[in-house]
Amino acid sequence: MLNLKSSAVSYWKPQYRGNRSDLIGDSVRSCSGRFGRLTVVRLRLLWGYIEQVHRDVAS
C-alpha cells in the first residue's frame, strides 16, 4: 500500500509542478472514490478563495 502511494505521488508530482493542494486532493480522491471527488472540489474552491484573498491583501 505504501509503495503504491509513493508511486502515485511521483506520478502526479510533475504534472502539478509540486502543487500541494492537487497532490492532497488526488490522494483523497483515489482513497475514497466519489465522496473523495466532492471533497477535492471543495478543497480546490477553498484553496482558490484563499489564494485570491491573499492576492488582494498583498496588492
If you write DSSP's letter for every residue of the chain in order, what string do you get?
A: -HHHHHHHHHHHHHHHTT-HHHHHHHHHHHHHHHHHHHHHHHHHHHHHHHHHHHHHHH-
Residue with cell 480522491: 29
The model carries a pTM of 0.35
Q: How many domains is the chain built from?
A: 1
Boundaries of domain holding 38: 24-58
Could you tell me what percent of the chain has a pLDDT over 90? 10
Residue 49: per-residue pLDDT: 93
In a domain, 43, yes or no: yes
CB 43 within 8 A of CB 21: yes
38 vs 19, more confident: 38
In a domain, 37, yes or no: yes
In a domain, 11, yes or no: no
* CA-closest candidate to residue 31, choices 14, 8, 48: 8
4 vs 45, more confident: 45
Give pLDDT tens digits for 8-25: 555 544 454 555 666 666
In a domain, 7, yes or no: no
Residue 36: per-residue pLDDT: 58
